[in-house]
């Protein structure tokens, strides 16, 4: 046999057959992709115009880099990131990918997008009766208002001018009658997001969201599109919350902890306050007995007022601790919710989350230095606060009221003038007695004739009448006798 004649029985022929079998086996193991398939691929390279994706087949995918540029024309992606993409074209040794079908362009793909339910990017050009007009690859489609979003559309203008992804739900007359739905696409995406969330989430996880709705009993927080959890009013803050609207508005970003999750019913209970530490755990580091501080009155009760001295730390001012100046019957007579008051801390019970507070001690006890301010026998000017049958109550200063007894008024040289005085009139009084234990001051009228000898003249004129003359003569005779 000539040397250059190929012999199928030679080892070389056998090796080629084995290689062919291996190649055929390799090709049979590669997954088949079709236009419209959605794949999850890892970025293997980033070029000037394209991003190259590992499709899981022997052929890498290519997606236009421009689809991922941000507002500053920058790219927030890097090698190794995973992308969810659609197969929009296969041929010429490449697999063309896109975030949506419009990324690859071409009117011919609209019908394929309709049949394969591939998202198509369109621009909302204007409002119209019953919905919106949407431009899709130089064709005009109609989106019913009910299909624009999963929520009720209150402001139609906010959608006009936006470029959004849609699903084609009707494709007739060779593209002259196209109806699209964004809602259907959002529902698909939301269901996928929910599924992924419930697959990975568990109690104690901290999640980010935004306030979707506010109710008297709490707030609903959108964790992922279409999935909401509820934070009860008691879990919104360590401080007492009257209404959730006091601290949140719709759209506010929220960080919350999952305190309960039911994957079967889809219900999620959240806590906003548990994201931060319980302030009662560090109350002794912030305050100690005897400290004077300020707080905000949160509510009033029959027995006193509650005052928040720090976020989440609320204490009670009993009505007996409200004033040295007068007897308090109702807390509302002294303070109202929202008032900022000075308080002194009397007791801290961190275990039971209780703090006893005093307003009157913070203001100071006017009786503490009463003997230095008022001297026995000295005259002071006061104001008649109240007139009673047994005497007058005289206001000397806030918290200091003395009693001018009726007997002291009667003994005064100007008793008649004092009797004519009215409530709130000024009066000069003399301090007679101070009882700090009973918190009482006894007063006398200025110029009162308490001791008649003190006010009697040193020499008195002779009394008129016969007995007066006789007495004078007897005294004169006795005086002369004693001198002899």
Give the CATH number of the domain where residue 350 resides.
Answer: 2.40.50.140
Q: Which residue blocks in 369-465 are alpha helix, DSSP H?
A: 370-373, 406-410, 415-420, 452-455
- Rounded to 10 degrees, the C-alpha dihedral 469/473/479/484 comes to 170
Regarding whether 271 and 284 lie in a shared domain, the answer is: no
Tokens 């419209």 belong to which residue?
Answer: 36
Question: Domain end: 187, 216, 236, which one?
Answer: 187
CA 22 from chain centre, in angstroms, equals 67
Which of 363, 397, 422 is the last residue before a domain boundary? 363
- For 132-187, how does the pLDDT look when each residue is reduced to its tens digit (9 = 90+)? 999 887 788 999 999 999 888 888 999 999 989 899 999 887 778 899 999 988 88
Instruction: Give the pLDDT score at 188.
Output: 84
Residue 7 forms part of a structural domain = no
* Of 213, 126, 139, the residue nearest 179 (C-alpha): 139
**What is the separation, in whole angstroms, between the first and last Cα of the chain?**
197
Residue 420, C-beta contacts closer than 8 angstroms, at least 6 positions apart: none
Contacts of 371 (CB under 8 A, 6+ apart): 434, 436
171: in domain: yes
Indicate if 217 and 286 belong to the same structural domain. Answer: no
194 and 148 Cβ atoms separated by less than 8 Å: no
Residue 107: phi, psi to the nearest 5?
A: -65, -30
Residue 174 belongs to a domain: yes
In a domain, 484, yes or no: no
- Residue with tokens 């009726």, as numbered in its chain: 406
CA-nearest of 297, 275, 375 to 341 is 297
Q: Which of 239, 238, 246, 190 is nearest to 214 (CA)?
A: 246
Q: How far apart are CA 326 and CA 454, in angstroms?
A: 39
Q: Are residues 377 and 444 in the same domain?
A: yes
Kindly state whether residues 262 and 221 are assigned to the same domain. yes
Q: What is the model's pLDDT at position 99?
A: 79
Residue 251 corresponds to which tokens in the numbers above?
A: 């759209």
Residue span of the structural domain in which 346 resides = 279-363
Q: Is residue 23 part of a domain?
A: no
Q: Are residues 289 and 257 in the same domain?
A: no
Q: Do 381 and 422 share a structural domain?
A: yes
Domain count, the chain: 5
**Residue partners of 201: CB distance under 8 A and separation at least 6:** 207, 258, 261
C-alpha 243, offset from chain centre: 10
CA distance 23 to 40: 25
Using CA atoms, how far apart are residues 53 and 33, in angstroms rounded to an integer?
14
Residue 101: closest CA among 53, 37, 47? 37
- Point out the residues of the chain with pLDDT beneath 50: 1-13, 23, 26-30, 103-105, 449-468
Residue 2 lies in a domain: no
User: What DSSP string runs through 196-262?
Assistant: HHHHH--TT-EEEEEEEEEETTEEEEEEETTEEEEEEGGGS-SS--S-GGGT--TT-EEEEEEEEEE
Is position 15 within any domain?
no
Tell me: do 241 and 283 sit in the same domain: no
**Residues in a beta bridge with 85:** 39
Q: Are residues 376 and 431 in the same domain?
A: yes
Tell me if 70 sits within 8 A of 76, measured CB to CB. Answer: yes
HSE-up of residue 312 (Cα within 13 Å, Cβ side): 17
287 and 271 within one domain: no
Q: Please report the sign of the dihedral spanned by the C-alpha atoms of residue 198, residue 199, residue 201, residue 207.
A: negative
pLDDT at res. 459: 41
User: pLDDT tens for residues 381-410?
Assistant: 999 988 998 999 998 887 788 999 998 888
Beta strands at 354-358 and 379-388: parallel, antiparallel or unpaired = unpaired
Inside any domain, residue 476: no
- CA 404 – CA 296 distance, rounded (Å): 40
pLDDT at 2: 44
Task: Give me the residues paired with residue 405 across strands.
Answer: 391
| Measured distance CA(57)–CA(62) in Å, rounded | 13
Bridge partners of residue 87, in order along the sequence:
97
Domain boundary among 363, 391, 425: 363
Computed on alpha carbons and rounded to an integer, the radius of gyration of the chain in Å comes to 48
pLDDT of residue 457: 44
Cα 161 to the center of its chain, rounded Å: 35
The helix/strand/coil state of 101 is helix
């Amino acid at each position: 046999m000539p040397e250059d004649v190929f012999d199928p029985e030679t080892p070389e022929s056998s090796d080629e057959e084995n290689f062919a079998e291996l190649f055929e086996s390799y090709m049979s193991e590669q997954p088949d992709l079709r236009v419209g398939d959605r794949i999850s691929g890892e970025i293997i390279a980033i070029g000037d115009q394209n991003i190259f994706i590992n499709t899981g087949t022997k052929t890498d995918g290519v997606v236009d880099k421009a689809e991922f540029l941000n507002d500053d024309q920058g790219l927030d992606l890097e090698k190794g990131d995973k992308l969810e993409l659609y197969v929009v074209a296969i041929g010429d040794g490449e697999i063309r990918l896109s975030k949506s079908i419009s990324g690859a362009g071409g009117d011919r793909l609209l019908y394929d997008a309709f049949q394969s339910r591939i998202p198509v990017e369109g621009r909302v050009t204007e409002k119209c009766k019953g919905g919106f007009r949407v431009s899709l690859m130089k064709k005009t489609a109609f989106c019913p208002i009910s299909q624009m979003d999963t929520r009720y559309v209150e402001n139609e203008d906010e959608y006009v001018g936006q470029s959004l992804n849609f699903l084609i739900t009707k494709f007739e007359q060779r593209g002259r009658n196209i109806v699209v739905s964004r809602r259907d696409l959002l529902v698909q995406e939301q269901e996928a997001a929910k599924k992924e969330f419930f697959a990975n989430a568990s109690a104690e996880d901290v999640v980010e969201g935004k306030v979707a709705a506010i109710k008297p009993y709490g707030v609903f927080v959108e964790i992922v599109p279409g999935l909401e959890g509820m934070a009860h009013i008691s879990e919104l803050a360590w401080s007492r919350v009257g209404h959730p609207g006091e601290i949140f508005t719709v759209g506010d970003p929220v960080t919350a902890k999952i305190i309960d999750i039911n994957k079967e019913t889809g219900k999620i209970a959240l806590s906003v306050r548990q994201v931060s530490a319980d302030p009662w755990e560090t109350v002794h580091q912030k305050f100690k007995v005897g400290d004077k501080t300020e707080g905000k009155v949160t509510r009033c009760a029959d027995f006193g007022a509650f005052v928040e001295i720090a976020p989440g730390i609320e204490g009670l001012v009993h009505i007996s601790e409200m004033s040295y100046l007068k007897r308090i019957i109702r807390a509302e007579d002294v303070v109202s919710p929202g008032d900022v008051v000075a308080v002194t801390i009397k007791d801290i019970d961190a275990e039971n989350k209780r703090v006893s507070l005093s307003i009157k001690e913070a203001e100071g006890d006017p009786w503490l230095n009463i003997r230095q301010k008022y001297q026995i026998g000295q005259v002071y000017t006061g104001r008649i606060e109240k007139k009673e049958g047994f005497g007058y109550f005289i206001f000397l200063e806030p918290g200091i009221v003395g009693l001018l007894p009726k007997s002291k008024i009667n003994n005064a040289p100007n008793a008649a003038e004092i009797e004519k005085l009215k409530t709130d009139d000024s009066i000069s009084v003399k301090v007679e007695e101070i009882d700090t234990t009973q918190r009482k001051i006894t007063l006398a009228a200025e110029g009162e004739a308490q001791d008649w000898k003190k006010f009697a003249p040193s020499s008195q004129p002779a009394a008129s009448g016969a007995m007066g003359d006789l007495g004078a003569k007897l005294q004169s005779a006795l005086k002369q006798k004693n001198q002899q």
